[in-house]
Amino acid sequence: MTNSNTKVEVLAGMVFLCLCHVAYIAFVFFIPLFLEGFNILSDDNTYLVLIIWVIGISGIGIFQLLYAVPFYFHFRKKSHPELAKGVAIMAGLTLLLNGGCFIFLSI
């Protein structure tokens, strides 16, 4: 494989995981709305929506392991190691940025 194709494939893996992060954030945003639609959340639990959003967004560095690790192994198994590298790079960046922001906000 040529060097330019390698870079493009690594970048494609990074973009793929970014799109997974966007889908995760949309999922976290719509969970409380879904629960309210089925009357699972009552008026007494108004802070539960905020708690779900804060935990979901602040924990993306950890929760991403639920989808990043399987995608990594899937791409490695399907002989796309460069895509797997891109997924691993973006997962590491997300984890580091999330941890750094968490430490910054907790000071």
Return per-residue pLDDT of the chain as tens, 107 residues: 567 788 999 999 999 999 999 999 898 888 877 777 666 666 666 677 778 888 888 888 888 889 999 999 999 999 899 999 999 999 999 988 888 877 887 77
Neighbours of 26 (CB within 10 A): 10
Burial 91-105 (b: 16+ CB within 10 A, else e): beebbeebeeeeeee
pLDDT at 41: 63
Residues 32 and 30: their CA atoms lie apart, in Å, by 6
Global pTM reads 0.79
pLDDT at 50: 78
CB 12 within 8 A of CB 85: no
pLDDT (0 to 100) of residue 42: 62
* Burial bucket for residue 48 (CB in 10 Å: 0-12, 13-18, 19+): middle
